[in-house]
Amino acid sequence: MMVQPIPPSTDTDTDTAALALDVQGLSVEFPTRRGTLTAIEDVSMQIAPGEILGVVGESGAGKSITGLAVLGLLEAPGRIAAGSVYVGGRRVDQLSEAELTKIRGREMGAIFQDPLTALNPLFTVGKQLVETIRLHSDMQRKEAQDRALELLRSVGIPAPEERLRQYPHQFSGGMRQRVVIALALAAGPRLIIADEPTTALDVSIQAQITALLRKLCDETGVGIMLVTHDMGVIAETADRVCVMYSGRVVESGPVADVIHAPEHPYTKGLMAAIPSLHDRVETLSQIDGSMPRLNARPSGCSFHPRCPHAGPKCSIATPPLRKVDTTYAACWLQQGGTR
């Protein structure tokens, strides 16, 4: 299923109701005794039905916090301080916990890094699937059991009739992740947040899971936010990518364009650090320095202390996300202004 790239900013005229996800100007804060820490700031992204958006960046960039904010699963004292989150045209960031509980699973599902944390070891896989289906639908038990079998088949689990009667510990890591994907799809949601869904798996199983996500996205039309630190997974799976750094989106666009012709210095550094299969080199490229802590973010562009092209303006003013050729980049260097 081919989808047209949607710009990750308020400049788009795309109807919010037609989108699986529409996030605009999202900021998340964590109040502490020493002051308020801003985890993500002014994050905007959109996902069309049948589209996979990859969200990539180093640990601490704000990827997982963005996903949790969308799901309404921020742990206290974390809170959404600004912005809006729409799922299928419905605003969800202002809903109460009781209202969010009703639409989690039905409108948006989640796939997390460790499938064991999402599965109850005391109940069979079949019971967990059937109860999830019945919670979000009017199906009777027999209908729900048939639906559970259908879901296990759709995610590639062999002998589903037998597997329904088994417990999570009787499944391999890859098979457990397939069960979690089936649970996320149980109520036919518009959106799935997949947070590092392949990290705990070996390489061959990773490829199977990413191929499965792509297949299910194409067949069901669900929109997927794929959170990962692995550019290889993004390249193989996603339609578009948002690159995050220090709580902000620094570049966004079609995957091929961002990978092969990145505009932001941080994205260029990420791509240069990936070893080449064709060229033999003595040392690998790296980005000097480290991402700033939440309580020690520099003024202006957060990347400027590590950027080889930084100018005076970069340390004073935060660059907005603006269109540069085929992608969007938050960099003064690419926006025709003086640095």
In b/e form, how buried is each residue of 293-329, taking b as 16+ CB within 10 angstroms?
ebeebeebbbbbebbeebeebbeeeebebebbeebbb
pLDDT tens for residues 106-165? 899 999 888 888 899 999 999 999 999 998 888 999 999 999 999 999 999 999 999 999
What's residue 9's pLDDT? 38
16-107+189-334, what's its fold? Rossmann fold (3.40.50)
Q: What distance in Å separates the CA atoms of residue 81 and residue 79, rounded to the nearest whole number?
A: 6
If 0-12 CB within 10 Å is exposed, 13-18 middle and 19+ buried, where does residue 275 land? Answer: exposed
Q: Which residue has the higher pLDDT, 111 or 279?
A: 111
Q: What is the pTM of this model?
A: 0.89
Residue 337: per-residue pLDDT: 52
Q: For all residues of the chain together, what is the average pLDDT?
A: 89
Model confidence band, residue 3 (pLDDT cutoffs 50, 70, 90): very low
Residue 241 has pLDDT above 50, yes or no: yes
Structure-block tokens of residue 267: 């994205």
Given this model, what pLDDT does residue 34 score?
87
Which is nearest to 170 in space by CA: 111, 126, 110?
126
Q: Looking at the predicted structure, is the pLDDT value of residue 339 above 60?
A: no
Q: Calculate mean pLDDT across residues 156-185.
A: 94
Asked whether residue 6 carries a pLDDT value surpassing 80, the answer given is no
Q: Are the CB atoms for 108 and 190 separated by under 8 Å?
A: yes
| Farthest CA pair distance, the chain | 67
Q: Using the predicted structure, report yes or no on whether residue 4 has a pLDDT greater than 60.
A: no
Residue 38 has what pLDDT?
95
Between 44 and 102, residue with greater pLDDT: 44
Residues facing residue 108 across a β-bridge: 104, 191
Q: Which of 89-103, 195-209, 273-287 has the lowest mean pLDDT?
A: 273-287
State yes or no: pLDDT of 209 exceeds 50. yes
